[in-house]
Homo-oligomer: A and B are copies of this chain.
Amino acid sequence: MTISEIKGESLQDVQALPDTRGIALDEVGVEGLRYPLLISDARGNKRETVATVAMSVSLADHVKGAHLSRFVDVLHTWRDRLSSQAVTLMADDLRQRMGCATARVALTFPYFLERLAPVTGIASFMDYTCTLTAAASDRGDEVVLAVKVPVTSVCPCSKAISDRGAHNQRGWVTIDARPHTPATGLWFDHLIDIAEAAGSSPVYALLKRPDERHVTMAGYDNPVFVEDMIRTVAGALNHDVRIAEYRIRVVNDESIHNHAAYAQIPWTLTATSRDSTDG
């Protein structure tokens, strides 16, 4: 096989053909790609993890297609040095290699924190689903950190109207936060802490009986609706000077119903963002 054949120089470049329909595309890309990554946290500690990756670029109206193999090329090059900063550089790299106006990268992965059981202090790992998203365009770069955090929630209504007991269930707090630019050291741990503090109690991988007693009573003493949880999270995010904008979604897998209860707040500027805008 000749070098030319290996390079594919004789093969038609169909994607590079012109398109005459006059329709630009916001996003063209790949998704659902699982890849092993090394991600550095806010303190620079590297963690090996497995991410599900989506990458896309915008496509001008006169070009037929995007060269999707370059996405995986770029990912493979950057895979062992990713961080909040590096993922922005990777999006910039992608944008330049594709010669397009905008490039986006989203990495979703399980993130583990060692948690101590509240009474016995026994250690175990809790898993949180996190997403690190970066977009690069000629209007500048943008990063979003997202966390999906399980909590336990005790129903205030059920407790108030019953002589004993109260229904409770696993709930899910999802936060998307866009930090101010340049990045300000915001990392997933902080958002996870905010989410866990909003439930009736955190959820654990390992609880011994004294811990289970503690979690049961702490939850019963602190009943919350999805409406309460989302407002507590919004209050905390709203005054976080590192965050420019956020959105929140809280879901309860209701234990006495065959459906879920939920509350959500769309993308909202924080108080600090609004102040700076007013100023």
Residues of A within 8 A of B (CB): 1, 5-8, 11-15, 19, 21, 23, 25-36, 48-50, 53, 56, 59, 64-66, 68-69, 72-73, 76, 110, 112, 119-127, 150, 152, 154, 156-158, 160-170, 201, 203-210, 212-213, 215-217, 219-221, 225-228, 230-232, 234-235, 251, 253-266
Contact = CB atoms under 8 A, between A and B. Distances in A.
Nearest to A162: B216
Interface of A is mostly: mixed
A167 B152 contact: yes
A201 B257 CA distance: 11
B217 A163 contact: yes
A162 B256 contact: no
B69 A207 contact: yes
Nearest to A48: B48
A251 B32 CA distance: 11
A135 B108 CA distance: 32
17 contacts: A5-B119, A12-B161, A14-B156, A15-B157, A27-B264, A31-B260, A32-B260, A50-B112, A65-B156, A69-B208, A72-B206, A152-B167, A158-B216, A164-B217, A164-B220, A167-B216, A215-B256
Contacts of A14: 156-157, 160-161
Given A258-B150, A266-B26, A167 B36 contact: no
A143 to B, nearest CB: 20
Contact of A161 (B11, B29, B254): B11
A193 B82 CA distance: 31
B263 A28 contact: yes
A226 B29 CA distance: 9
Nearest to A154: B165
The 9 A-B residue pairs with the shortest CB-CB distance in the complex, in nearest-first order = A165-B220, A33-B259, A8-B210, A8-B209, A34-B127, A162-B216, A48-B48, A72-B206, A11-B161
